Structures are given as C-alpha cells and as structure tokens.
Amino acid sequence: MEIGRWLMLFGALLLAVGALFYLGGRWLHLGRLPGDFVWQHGSFTLYAPLASSLLLSLVLTLLLNLFLGRR
C-alpha cells in the first residue's frame, strides 16, 4: 500500500506543477517577472528565470511541508 500512496502523491504533485505552468503564463506571468533575465547577442539568446525559479521553489517547499510535514 505504501507504493500506491507515493504514486498518488507524485501524480497530485505533477498535476499541481502542470496547472501552475498552464495558469502561470496567463495570470502569474511566470517567466516575465522582474528578475527573469534575457540576454540576446546576435543569434545567441540566454534566458535565466531567476525570480520565477525562486517563486516556484518557495511554493513547492511550502506545499511539500504542508502535505508531508515534519515527522
């Protein structure tokens, strides 16, 4: 039964991350926050989504601590 619980948790996490990416582009402007850098030089483009990465990391950390807790 333990593997079933982990698979359900992993599926829910994938659903949440997928919804965040799907809705994030529309309402949260992920990838276009202040702190997301784009450098273009000729045909070379470097994209560094620092602010979006920090925000996503914070949200996932809070969700995992909420659901898994500290045992």
Q: Dump pLDDT digits (tens) for 1-34.
A: 688 888 998 898 888 877 877 776 777 777 788 8
| Radius of gyration for the chain, computed over Cα atoms and rounded to the nearest angstrom | 16
What sign for the dihedral angle of Cα 16, 21, 25, 26?
A: negative
Tell me the C-alpha distance between 61 and 11, whole Å: 17
Give the pTM. Answer: 0.58
Count of domains forming the chain:
1
Domain interval for residue 33? 2-68
